[in-house]
Chain A
Amino acid sequence: MISYQIKESPEVYDAIVVGSGAGGGMTGYVLANAGLKVLMLEAGPFFDPAKDTMQLRWPWESPRRGAGTIRPFGDFDAAYGGWELDGEPYTRTAGTEFEWFRARMLGGRTNHWGRISLRMGPDDFKPKDGVTEAWPITYEEVKPYYDRVDRMIGIYGTVEGLPNEPDGIFLKPPKPRLNELYIKRGAQKAGVPVITGRGSVLTEALPGVEGRGTCFYCGQCGRACRVYGDFSSSSCLVIPAMKTGNLKVIDHAMVREVLTDNQGLASGVSYVNTQTLQEYTVRGKVVIVGASACESARLLLNSRSAAHPGGLGNSSGLVGRYLHDSTGASAGGFLPQLLDRKRYNEDGVGSVHIYSPWWLDNSKLNFPRGYHIEYGGGLHMPSYGFLDWVPGVNHLVPAKDGQQREQGGYGIGLKEDYRRFYGAAVGMAGRGTALARYDNYCEIDPSRVDKYGIPVLRFHYRWANEEVEQAKHMQETFREVLHEMGATVTSPMPGPETLYGLEAPGKIIHEGGTTRMGDDPRKSVLNKWCQSHDCRNLFVVDAGPFVQQGDKNLTWTILALSMRTAEYILEQRNKLNV
Chain B
Amino acid sequence: MARARTTADAFNAIAEPHRREILTLLKGRERVVSDIADAMGMNQPAVSKHLRVLREVGLVRVHPEGKQRRYGLDARGLEPVHGWTGGFEEYWSESLERLNTYVKKRQREEER
* A joins B in a complex: no
